[in-house]
Amino acid sequence: MKTSTSTSLRTPAAPNRGPLGTLALAVLLLTAPAWMPYVGGYNDIASRVLIYALAAMGLNLLLGFTGGLSFGHAAYFGLGAYGVGLMLKYGPPSIPLALLCGTLLGGIVATILAPIVVRRRGIYFAMITIAIGQLFYFVAIRWQSVTGGYDGLTGFTRHPIHVLPGLTWTLDSTGFYYLALACFAVGAAVLWILLNSPLGHMFVAVRENQKRLTFLGVKVQRYAAISFAISGFIVALAGGLNALLDNFTSPNSMANTLSGDFVIIAVLGGMRSFWGPFVGAAIFVLVRDYASNMTSNWMSVIGLIFVLSVLFFPLGIMGFLHHRSTKK
């Protein structure tokens, strides 16, 4: 491969240069319920940051590391949410089981659709994902007997998790935050291990030069489909957590506007950076929360920040910081 490509193949391992930064982030997240009130925050917004960060990191596996722009990943986010809601409403009151079912629902659908979607590249790939996302969105609206239609799915709530006999994990705002943090840690660990494995380096090779891989006899579509499927599982897990956070889900959790939000988050934080989507999610959720309290046109604020980011930080915030550190 070209020199630039071989350099890019080392991209997934980039976080290894900053173990202290990762440790600092872990301490920051573990202690968030203690310091959030002093900065005007609260546990639910911290949980939302983790959920959106997990979804954006799942999407970024496909977008930033495999090179596939999807505007339909909210479909798997919504499937995960509906899977959790339906399981809690009609099944046993088990949060772990509900999360498992929601993740499997969204992930399996993504796995089934992946071989179809990856048959095209570029703009055609993006258009197919939009079409699939709209398909599930309108199914959620029309299938009122199951999904509740426009009114959404209600009638379920968070239940305590019985960890051990005599030990119960109560999912109040603080307890749920740590559940979201645990799921975020698991998802991030899976992505970390994957991206630093030979499979992860193959994903980057697919992003860099598909034609050369094809000439070498590599089945490019197979690896793109694997990336798409894994991405769907991670996003579905985030969707299930989102349903638990709100004790509610609706077709809006499948809307293409939410898919666009995930893309904005990934690009804002840095697509080529492992922690970029987390930084983007923190900025997006916090700005949305505070701007919506001041103006009904909060989307304009998000749009302005995104435009400025693209103009002045084309590699994203984390990409910009990494570039500055390597120049010193």
Residue 298 lies in a domain: no
Residue 268 lies in a domain: no
Residue 276 lies in a domain: no
Half-sphere exposure of 179 (CA within 13 A, CB side): 25
Among 318, 62, 16, 66, CA closest to 201 = 66
Residue 53 lies in a domain: yes
∠ CA(92), CA(167), CA(162), 5° rounding? 10
Please, what is the average pLDDT of the chain?
91
Give the model confidence (pLDDT) of 81-108 as tens digits.
999 999 999 999 999 999 999 999 999 9
Phi, psi of 40 (to 5 degrees): 85, 15
Residue 269 lies in a domain: no
Cα separation, 36 vs 217, whole angstroms: 52
Count the domains in the chain: 1
Give the burial class of 114: count Cβ atoms within 10 A of its Cβ; 0-12 exposed, 13-18 middle, 19 or more buried. buried
| Sign, Cα dihedral of 197, 198, 201, 207 | negative
Walk along the chain (328 residues) and give the pLDDT tens digit of each residue: 343 444 344 445 444 456 788 899 999 999 999 999 888 889 999 999 999 999 999 999 999 999 999 999 999 999 999 999 999 999 999 999 999 999 999 999 999 999 999 999 889 999 999 999 999 999 999 999 999 999 999 999 999 998 888 889 999 999 999 999 999 999 999 999 999 999 999 999 999 998 899 898 999 999 999 999 999 999 999 999 999 999 999 999 999 999 999 999 999 999 989 999 999 999 999 999 988 888 888 888 888 988 988 888 888 998 888 777 766 5
Residue 23 lies in a domain: no
Among 237, 213, 224, CA closest to 84 = 237
Asked whether the beta carbons of 141 and 149 are under 8 A apart, the reply is yes
Residue 119 lies in a domain: yes
Strands 161-164 and 167-169: antiparallel
Residue 266 lies in a domain: no
Containing domain of residue 228, as a range?
42-254
- DSSP letter for each residue of 253-306: GG-HHHHHHHHHHHHHH-TTSSSHHHHHHHHHHHHHHHHHTT-S-HHHHHHHHH
164 forms beta bridges with: 167
Kind and range of the H or E element at 161? strand 161-164
Give the model confidence (pLDDT) of 143-167 as tens digits.
999 999 999 999 999 999 988 888 8
- DSSP letter for each residue of 35-48: HGGGGT--HHHHHH
